[in-house]
Amino acid sequence: MARKVFYSFHYVPDAWRVSQVRNIGTVEDNKPASDNDWETVKKGGDAGIKKWIDNQLAGRTCAIVMIGHETANRKWINYEINKAWADGKGVLGIHIHKLKNASGVQAAKGANPFDFCFVPGTQTKLSTKVKVYDPAGADSKAVYDYISKNIEAWIDAAIAARKT
């Protein structure tokens, strides 16, 4: 059964890597805004962007943060993480730096974005609550295969963790 998830990621450097994971086919995901749609969303300012993110998260059971080299501590990534957590959704992270981009290049490993988000009303970092996966494999194909074999279980575990 496909899981309904929201993918959070830094678009410019990681869209190609994220598309590989989306194409695995075991997850029903939200589609990213096209460049033209995103320009329209941005014209609404911060309130418009928040509304768009909130609408994208609606009806999803889990938020997956695809962690690239520049993902951590970005304004809208933090908002997506905090919103998903506050809404009681399953939340997890997957490092994607070893997946090749469109040019066939792997990237440096990024910082944990959950170190920059906190359990509401506390100083407890979400990194102490949210599981982050660093897929095994030396090359892009091995990493893709590892993600493909494990993503369903990771999502289920994140959802179950929020129910306890």
Angle, to 10 degrees, between the axis of helix 45-57 and the axis of helix 35-43? 130
Q: What local confidence, expressed as pLDDT, does residue 39 receive?
A: 80
For residue 155, give the amino acid letter.
I
Cα-to-chain-centroid distance, residue 101: 17
Q: What local confidence, expressed as pLDDT, does residue 42 receive?
A: 85
Q: What local confidence, expressed as pLDDT, does residue 36 receive?
A: 64
Q: What local confidence, expressed as pLDDT, does residue 23 receive?
A: 85
Taking 60 as the threshold, does the pLDDT of residue 1 lie above it?
no
Looking up tokens 């993503």 gives: 151
pLDDT in tens, 24-79: 877 766 666 655 677 888 899 999 999 999 999 999 999 999 999 999 999 999 99
Q: Determine the CATH number of domain 3-163.
A: 3.40.50.450
**CB count, 10 Å around CB of 96?**
30
Q: What local confidence, expressed as pLDDT, does residue 14 receive?
A: 92
pLDDT in tens, 110-161: 999 999 999 999 999 999 999 999 999 989 999 999 999 999 999 999 999 9
Q: What local confidence, expressed as pLDDT, does residue 87 receive?
A: 96
Element (H, E) at 18: helix 11-22
